[in-house]
Amino acid sequence: MNGISPPVLREMAAHARKAYPEECCGVLIEDASGALSFRPIANIAGSIGAAGISARTNRDGYVMDPRGLMAAQEEADRLVGRLWGIVHSHPDVGAYFSREDRAKALDDAGQEPLWPGVRYLVISARASGIDRALLYTWDAARHDFIEEEVREIAGLY
C-alpha cells in the first residue's frame, strides 16, 4: 500500500483534471506523524522562467515553479517532515515514467536519484477524466525504479 489517503488522492486528481489539457505538478509532503498532504505547484514549462531548463511546453512537460518548490520544502521543514513525492500528470498519453521523467529523477550520470527517498507519481488525465496513476519508487538493490499502480485514483474526476 502506498500510504496516500483517499482525500489526498482526490485532491491530486482534481488538480490534474483542472490543469487538463496541460500537465499539472506538485509535491507530496510527509509530516512528523507520517501523514501525507499534497501541495500543487505551478507548472512553468514553456514560459520565460523555464528557458534553459526545458524546451517543452506545459502541454507535454512540466517544470515546477522554483518558488513554489522552495515554499513546499520550507513547509516540510516546519512540519518536521520531508518531501515524500513529486507528482505530475500526462494529458492524453497515459501514466508512465517517460525517458524525460527518469532523466529528471536521476543524477547527470543516470545512476542515482537526485532526491533520495522521493517517489514519483504520474497521473493519466484525459478529457473523460482521470483513468490511472503509477507510483515509481527507487530500489537501490535493483538500481532502478519499481512501478506500483495506484488503483484508487481511477475515475475520481
What pLDDT does 54 receive?
75
Coil, helix or strand for 75?
helix
- Closest among 105, 153, 155, 118 to 133, alpha carbons compared: 153
What pLDDT does 1 receive?
55
Q: Which own/partner pairs from 149-155 qualify as long-range (CB within 8 Å, at least 24 positions apart)?
A: 150/2, 150/4, 150/9, 150/121, 152/4, 152/6, 152/9, 153/9, 153/12, 153/13, 153/123, 154/130, 155/129, 155/130, 155/131
**6-153 has which fold?**
Cytidine Deaminase; domain 2 (3.40.140)
Q: How big is the chain by its Cα radius of gyration, in Å? A: 15
List pLDDT tens digits, range 91-134. Answer: 999 999 999 999 999 999 989 999 999 999 999 999 999 999 99
Mean pLDDT (the chain) is 92
**From the CB of residue 96, how many other CB atoms can be counted at a distance below 10 Å?**
14
List pLDDT tens digits, range 30-81. Answer: 999 999 999 999 999 878 877 777 777 778 889 999 999 999 999 999 999 9
What pLDDT does 56 receive?
78
What pLDDT does 137 receive?
97
The model carries a pTM of 0.93
